[in-house]
Structure 1
Amino acid sequence: MSLKKLWTALKGGVNEAAEAVADTQTIRILDQEMREAKQELIACDQSLTKIMAKRKLSEGKVKSLQGDIDTYTNHAVSAAEGGNEALAIECAEKVSELEASLATEEGILEGFKKSETTLKQNIAKAKTNVRRMEQQIEQIKATESVQKAQVAVSSRHMGANSKVKTALDSLDRIKAKQAERSAELEAAEELASAESGSDLDQKLKAAGITPGGSGNGKDKLAQLMAAKKG
């Protein structure tokens, strides 16, 4: 491999390692942002609860003021009908004050209602976005885990195949050595047989001749008779 190709390979490996670190860091950053976003949503819910509580109080004040206005209006009418103009005017002035307070409180109530509606909408959108982002992060994590498992299995499979091939090669070498050893033992036995003469005996037996024995009974009898006559 040339130096240029080697450098390219090394550079590619470094880039992949750097990207892997950056990806891991990105997931950590997103996790942290999700935690912070959830904390912010909790704070938003608390703020919404306070606004809703104030809106309810404001509604109570509006209702109370409206009740007071109705009451003093009736008093003013009753006083006027009874001929007590001074008291009627005083009640009418009270009604005017209450109406001014009611107008102010209704403005406050309307502000609370608008804030409540806007905040509810924004919180709902934020929660949807957080859930969507959280789902994507979990999907990325799950995919990353699956791919790591697949890589591990693939690596083990390749390693196992390599080990099996190595084992088979070792078995072939063992068989070859055993065959060679068997051939050496057979050669040694043949050599020992030749040196002891047993090889010749084996050849005679193979030819149908008994080593050290006579050809047949008739030949032996003729030999004995000839010896007696002589």
Structure 2
Amino acid sequence: MSLRKIWTAIRGASNEGLEAVADSQSLRILDQELRDAKQELTNCDQNLTKIMAKRKLASNKVDALQSDIDTYTQHAIAASEKGDDALALECAERVAELEGQLSAEKEIMQSFLNSEASLKTNIAKAKSNVRHMEMQIDQVKATESVQKAQVAVSSSNIGANSNVKTALDSLERIKAKQQQRSAELAAAEELASEEDGGALDAKLKKAGIAPGASASGSDKLAQILAAKKG
């Protein structure tokens, strides 16, 4: 292999290692950003709660001012009907003053309402984005774990297949040795039998000459008939 090819292989392995480190760091960065985003959303929820409380107080104040305006309006009418113009005028001036306060409070309440609506919309979008990001991160992590498991299993299968083949080869060698040993033992028994005359006796029995030989059917019938006549 040329030096250029070796250098290219080294560079490729180095780049793969750097990419793996970068990917791992990217997931850590995303996890941290996700935690930061969730904390910010918690803060947003708290701020929204405060704005809603202030809007509620402003709304209550608007209702109270409107009630006072209605009350002093009725007082002005009642004083005028009794002919007490001075008291009626004083009540009317109070109504005018309260209406000024009411107008200001309504603007404040509307401002809180606008902020509340805007925050709710933005928080809902942010929470949706966070959930989507969290889902993607979980999916990437799950896929990474599954692929690592698949690689491990594939590597194990390769190793297991190799081990199984080696074991089968060993088994065949053992069987061959056993067959060879069985043949050697049979040959040894045959040789021993020939040496002590066993082979000759076996031939005589087979021929029906030696004692213990199995009689044929016709021989046995002759024996039975002979015994009957006697």
Structure 1 position 77, deviation (Å): 1.5
Structure 1 position 179, deviation (Å): 8.1
Mapped partners of 2:123, 2:156: distance in 1: 49
> Which SS does the other structure have where 1:44 is aligned?
helix
Q: Determine if the alignment matches structure 1 residue 163 to structure 2 residue 127.
A: no
Look up the match of 1:13.
Answer: 13
Mapped partners of 1:177, 1:64: distance in 2: 108
Task: Give, as a single letter, the amino acid of the residue that structure 1 aligns with 2:21.
Answer: V
RMSD: 2.7
User: Larger radius of gyration, structure 1 or 2?
Assistant: 1
TM-score normalised per structure 1 = 0.75
1:141-186 CA deviation, whole Å, 9 max, x = no partner?
Answer: 1111110010000000011112223334445566677788899999
Q: Determine if the alignment matches structure 1 residue 89 to structure 2 residue 89.
A: yes
Give the number of equivalent residue pairs.
196
Look up the match of 2:136.
Answer: 136
> Which SS does the other structure have where 1:23 is aligned?
helix
Structure 1 position 96, deviation (Å): 1.0
* Greater displacement, 113-122 / 82-91: 82-91
The 5 A counterparts of 1:205-220 are none
> Which SS does the other structure have where 1:30 is aligned?
helix
TM-score normalised per structure 2 = 0.75
Look up the match of 2:57.
Answer: 57
Mapped partners of 1:112, 1:23: distance in 2: 44
Mapped partners of 2:91, 2:126: distance in 1: 51
Mapped partners of 2:6, 2:160: distance in 1: 28
Look up the match of 1:222.
Answer: none
> Which SS does the other structure have where 1:83 is aligned?
coil
Mapped partners of 1:113, 1:169: distance in 2: 83
Mapped partners of 2:15, 2:158: distance in 1: 25
Task: Give, as a single letter, the amino acid of the residue that structure 2 aligns with 1:3.
Answer: L
Identity across aligned pairs (percent)?
66
* Gaps in structure 2 of 5+ consecutive residues: 204-230
* Gaps in structure 1 of 5+ consecutive residues: 209-230
Mapped partners of 2:3, 2:168: distance in 1: 37
Mapped partners of 1:3, 1:178: distance in 2: 53
